[in-house]
Amino acid sequence: MDWIRKALITVLSVVLCFYTIVFVNYNIMQPQSALAIFVMLGMVLCFLVFPIAPQVAEPGLELATTDPGQFAFRKKLWRIEMVSRWILAILTVVCFGYIVIQSEPLFKNYWAEGMAGPSSLGDRAGDENGVDFWIGIIGLLLVLEATRRCIGWIVPALAIVFILHAYFAPDLPDWLLPHQGMTWKAISSATFLQSSGVLGPAAGVMFKYVFLFVVFGAFLEMSGATQFIIDFSQKMFGRSVGGPAKVAVIGSGLMGSLSGSAVANAVTTGSFTIPMMRNAGFEPKVAGGITAAAATGGALVPPVMGAGAYMMLDFVKPTVTFLEIARAAVIPAFLYYFSLWMIVHYYSKRVGAGLVGVPDQRKTRPISWYEALVFFGALGFLVLLLCLGFSPFKAVTGSLAVILFLAIFRKQLGLGSILRLLAVIVFLGAMFGHQFTVELAHTPEFENSVFTSFLATSWVNPTTGVIGSRQVFDSLLNSSFIGMIAFLTFGLLLEFVRWLLNSESRPQFTLALKGAARNGIALVAASACVGIIIGIVQSTSMANEFAENIKSIVETSLLLALIGIMGCSLVLGMGVPSVVCYLLMATLMGSLLGELGVAPLAAHLFIFYYGMMSMVTPPVALAAYASASIANAPIMSTAISSFKFSLVGFTLPFMFIYRPALLMMGLPGETYFWGNSVVSVVASVLGVIALAAGVTGYMRSNLNLLLRTGLVVAALLLLAPNVGGRTTGLFVNIAGAVLLCVIATLNRPNISVKVAGEG
């Protein structure tokens, strides 16, 4: 009967992706109800996909003959596990379904009694009945278990600590931040039933932004854009010193600019680049380390930035726009990849790796201009919509529509000429046919209906009364969403018919949606669990007291505060998705740096960067783990290697806090001047070169210990922030530049090593 579970996983994966695309763009439900269904679908999938423990698996038939007793025991354990999965999935539907029924006006006849008669769940906050309470407690336990299955014990354990702290707070000593405490009824309300906990801002960010980008990345890969990135990088840099490693660096940067996931980036690009690097003479742990470091940096590259930019909009608004966030991230992202490029270059020179085994460029697969069109079309349209002021979720949906329309013409999709023509007709027919629904808004059936949001919008500017170009563009964009949904439905139905006919064609749409759902399950569960912590924090004085205590410790020392936040981010980020780490740290410490004089945007970028760098920080470095599995390398050695290659990434946040010109921002109370950015970038580039040479032990030739030490000192002087003010800082940078030039002059080229490195 396991086929029922697998079939349901496929169906729910498709439903979750469709639901997110539709309900993020069309508001036809109460926000809490929409979030409840989103989290419910994610958690049901979690229980159906992830076992109670990795060791619990269906025993193979070979065990029945070699050890019948063990086979019988394992079979019984597997059956118990399967029953428990269904029970947990059903309980999840009951708990979240209860919230939907008790929140939606459509089910008003089923609302429970409040102080003033039947009232919604939100209206009876603080006056929940016994059924509400137990639904909240059971739902809370389900969220904790789902998160444990997906990402381990770290976040659930932290949530449990916060829950216990909230209950026992009145009896705690002063150093443990006591407060008036919360009853179990209040905890149930704050963490699960009301809109500040599980169905609060963390799940909202996942729903509106992050999950859409997961779907976006899945279809980007399906359309062939990933292959273009690899082909392009290989054509450009494959024959240079350290070519395969440079392909990994550039490929991951391009891929990360759209996908935003370090682990997904490592797996996607690493499957191509790691074998290339190993064939070219790189050790397996080094190949995995370079891939992990490059993949991690991808989440720092605009416009996607691991969806961090869109989460910052919720925390920093209304003082910051998306374009300001993207602009601020450009220079740090460039410096990160430039540093990685230089470290790879010098390392390849030193060990003589990089050309042996690299395919002859004349024999490699030629660049597909169709795949290039998909990549640049998706990226360009996404940036265009964001620049025009569209909301992030609308921008990514519009870019997804472009990808899917272009995917019609991809040969690998398996559509013949007739089916391809039919697909175009379905997409464009639904899109332009939707335009005629604009008149329905004035009919009695649709007037004041929730379904009005599905209708086309008018081309007429309501202010001037004439057709406006912006109104036409908005209307066609909205209609393209309908065309996209129609085409997706067409593709899925076609694959279902092929399956019924036992066709051997690959179900591209189904696999893309399943992959997106599988990648998003952990994020949905983790965001729900983080919501428990946020609900507790917002219901108590804990966050303010915590920030005050930290502030009293660091007093006026910004450096100590930064070091403390860095340490907390790296620790909390162990084994946790970076977006979850950011949400936690932004909730607990987001205001602390602002009180110490740091601009809110710079403070949140600092927190986000270190949450991201936890992907390559031993002992738990998820991006390095993913790369190690592909490279067949020891996990810890690969993690240490990734840490070394991404070393500059750990200094960048300190640099831009003290030197906001790197974020294209001025100091507090100062007008931004572009010349300051030029000076900062030049000093940083020279510092990166010095650090890369010092770390790898090679510049123009092999470096002895004295010269390596000198280069590290030069890097510190160049990368040091404006110590003692801008003028003093400039002289410090000049001293570093002079030291770099002296060492570069003393380090004479080693001809034999150079020849080995170049082939």
And the tokens for 607? 């927190």
Q: Is 718:687 a contact under the CB 8 Å cutoff?
A: yes
Cβ distance 112 to 129 under 8 Å?
yes
- Other CB atoms closer than 10 Å to residue 739's CB: what's the count? 18
Distance, CA of 250 to CA of 426 (rounded, Å)? 37
Check residue 172 and give left, alpha or beta (phi > 0: left; psi -120 to 50: alpha): beta
Last residue of a domain, one of 193, 221, 251: 193
As a whole number of angstroms, the distance between CA 654 and CA 438 comes to: 53
Using pLDDT thresholds of 50, 70 and 90, give the confidence band for residue 588: confident
Q: What sign for the dihedral angle of Cα 368, 369, 370, 373?
A: positive
Would you say residue 208 lies in a domain? no
CA pair distance 430, 411, nearest whole angstrom: 23
Domain-embedded: residue 726: yes
Mean pLDDT of 190-199: 89
Higher pLDDT, 79 or 619: 79
Domain edge (last residue) among 155, 178, 193: 193
Q: Is residue 450 part of a domain?
A: no
pTM: 0.79
**Residue 379 is inside which H or E element, if any?**
helix 369-387
| For residues 281-309, average pLDDT | 82
The least confident of 332-341, 485-494, 746-755 is 746-755
Kindly state the average pLDDT of the residues 421-448: 85
At residue 34 the predicted structure's pLDDT band, cuts being 50, 70 and 90, is: very high
- Residues of the chain above pLDDT 70, percent: 87
pLDDT at residue 558 in the model: 78
pLDDT above 60 (res 623): yes
Q: What is the pLDDT of residue 753?
A: 42
Query: Cβ(248)–Cβ(432) under 8 Å?
Result: no
Give the end of a domain, one of 193, 225, 251.
Answer: 193
Most confident of 74-78, 213-217, 454-458, 728-732: 454-458
The domain tally of the chain equals: 2
Token duo for residue 514: 């399943």
Question: What does the DSSP assignment read for 162-194?
Answer: HHHHHHHGGGS-GGG---S---HHHHHIIIIIS
Average pLDDT, the chain: 82
- Determine the average pLDDT of the residues in 137-145: 95
Domain with 757, as residue range(s), is 675-759
Does residue 579 belong to any structural domain of this protein? no
Position 162 in a domain = yes
For residue 477, what pLDDT is reported?
Answer: 93
Question: Which residue would you say has higher pLDDT here, 433 or 389?
Answer: 433
- For residue 230, list its beta bridge partners: none
Tell me the HSE value of 509 on the side-chain side, using a 13 A CA sphere. Answer: 27
Residue 138 domain flag: yes
At 374 the pLDDT is 84
Answer yes or no: is 618 within a domain.
no
In a domain, 426, yes or no: no
Nearest CA to 637 out of 650, 621, 651, 649 is that of 621
